[in-house]
Amino acid sequence: MVLNRENAKESTGHGSPLPTLVHGGPGRAGGGEEMGGIRGVKHYLQRCAVQGSPTTLTEITGIYQPKAAYKEAEKHPFSYHWEDIKVGMSMKTHKRTVTDTDIINFSNLTWDNFYAHTDITSLDGSIFEKRTAHGYFILAAAAGLFVYPNKGPVAANYGLEDCRFVRPIYHNDTIYVRLTCKQKVDRDQRGKELPSGIVKWYAEIFDTDDELVAIATVLTMVQKKQTVFTEMTSEKLQECLDKLKEDSKPKWGIMSAQNMVEHLELAYRIASGEIQDFEIATPEKYIDKAQEVLYNYEPMAPGFDFPLHKKGEVEDLKHENLQVAKLKMLEAREQYLTFFKENPKAILKNVVFGNLEKFDWYLLERKHLNHHFKQFGLL
């Protein structure tokens, strides 16, 4: 390590050495080598090489190797959730012919007026024979060929790796793409986004003679499959309520069946904007973290104290019986659905999660209903 005034403030210091650093530890133990890092386990490590066909190596490593066998996808690969995508899953696109107009328009759009694209009188002595398509136009055209236009599990384009232009494409040349899953990389859920993983796609661009034109690794963020919560349609909600009886007992907590239904009614009246005369209980610095909870696929924890209820006490019942409470709750839910149908951009506050948009309220409703219906064994 070379230390000077420029990096001294960022130095790890002698008490926390770099893993590969040779230095004199306490008492110069270990012959002056730090035994807590890589050097401490190096003598236990060994290297090995695996030799095999690209297909075999793909199966062993879990990373697609060029020229390995393709696994033809039954439907467009971008229509699968992260868990259902398999390394080697592949599709061949339809074809596109690159025209003079395409090249000129791309030059005008990007201001990339490199002579090979715009001045065919200057090609003598160059590697180009005719007006040549931009490499980045080829990538963009390839994306146009393989992208799935419908909304689905692919949440975003995450970037490019290992892009290479192997040979020029001239005007009136025709290309197609072979898109293959190269690798899957898991990632933690963060912020207000649904759980997802990264999929690396190996994009091979060919001409009509099946000669390789360009290759790139395209990264996409792909949503994970939601299998934890039951989607609460009106029919499913009614089915669960029909199972709930006056003497239904909770698996946790002190609520009675009617208490639970009246609690849900209150939640819907808040969600419809009817009740907003309360302060948000969660400190502002924790609101972002609280809202992240709505987007993950983890159930609500039992035993949470709702801030608008009396702590540790059963709320007084508002309605004469459970059947009336069910009807009032369904009325409040219909009011909530109607409000956001008429005001899709509205933002309403929740006592725990702060200001929420329509989609946030949908996630909260799904998670909340699943929580209480499981509490009473209805799911």
Q: Are residues 269 and 358 in the same domain?
A: yes
Across 358-371, average pLDDT: 97
Query: Where a domain ends, among 223, 251, 286?
Result: 223
* In contact, 245 and 257? CB cutoff 8 Å: yes
Locate 38 and state its tokens: 């890589």
Contacts (Cβ under 8 Å, ≥6 apart) of 191: 288, 292, 295
Query: Where a domain ends, among 203, 223, 243?
Result: 223
Burial class (CB in 10 A: 0-12, 13-18, 19+), 8: exposed
Across 276-290, average pLDDT: 95
Looking at residue 352, its pLDDT comes to 96
191 confidence band (pLDDT: 50, 70, 90): confident
Across 107-130, average pLDDT: 92
Q: Are residues 269 and 308 in the same domain?
A: yes
Does residue 234 carry a pLDDT above 90?
yes
**Above pLDDT 90, what percent of the chain?**
81
The angle subtended at Cα 186 by Cα 185 and Cα 189, nearest 5°, is 140
Q: Which residue type sits at 16?
A: S
Q: Looking at the domain assignment, is residue 2 inside a domain?
A: no
- DSSP H or E run through 202: strand 196-207
Across 182-187, average pLDDT: 95
For the segment 236-255, what is each residue's pLDDT rounded down to a tens digit? Answer: 999 999 999 999 999 999 99
Across 368-379, average pLDDT: 97
Q: Which residue type sits at 376?
A: F
Looking at residue 40, its pLDDT comes to 60
Does residue 11 carry a pLDDT above 70?
no
Domain that holds residue 35: 8-44
How many CB atoms sit inside 10 A of residue 20's CB? 11
- The CATH number linked to 71 is 3.10.129.10
For the segment 84-112, what is each residue's pLDDT rounded down to a tens digit? Answer: 999 999 999 999 999 999 999 999 999 99
Does residue 21 carry a pLDDT above 70?
no
Q: Are residues 256 and 344 in the same domain?
A: yes
Does residue 32 carry a pLDDT above 70?
no
Q: Are residues 168 and 256 in the same domain?
A: no
Q: Looking at the domain assignment, is residue 215 inside a domain?
A: yes
Looking at residue 163, its pLDDT comes to 94
Q: Are residues 213 and 357 in the same domain?
A: no
CA distance 379 to 369: 10
Task: State the total domains in the chain.
Answer: 3
Q: Are residues 242 and 209 in the same domain?
A: no
Q: Check residues 288 and 303 and name the one with the higher pLDDT.
A: 288
Q: Are residues 213 and 296 in the same domain?
A: no
- HSE-CB of 251 using CA atoms within 13 angstroms: 11
**Above pLDDT 70, what percent of the chain?**
89
Q: Looking at the domain assignment, is residue 168 inside a domain?
A: yes
For the segment 303-333, what is each residue's pLDDT rounded down to a tens digit? Answer: 888 999 888 888 999 999 999 999 999 999 9
Does residue 30 carry a pLDDT above 70?
no
Q: Are residues 22 and 89 in the same domain?
A: no
Q: Are residues 66 and 199 in the same domain?
A: yes
Q: Looking at the domain assignment, is residue 3 inside a domain?
A: no
Confidence (pTM): 0.81
Q: Looking at the domain assignment, is residue 229 inside a domain?
A: no
C-alpha pair distances (Å), 44 with each of 22, 32, 38, 40, 41? 18, 19, 10, 9, 5
Does residue 15 carry a pLDDT above 70?
no
Query: Where a domain ends, among 197, 223, 249?
Result: 223
Question: What's the whole-number average pLDDT of the chain?
Answer: 90
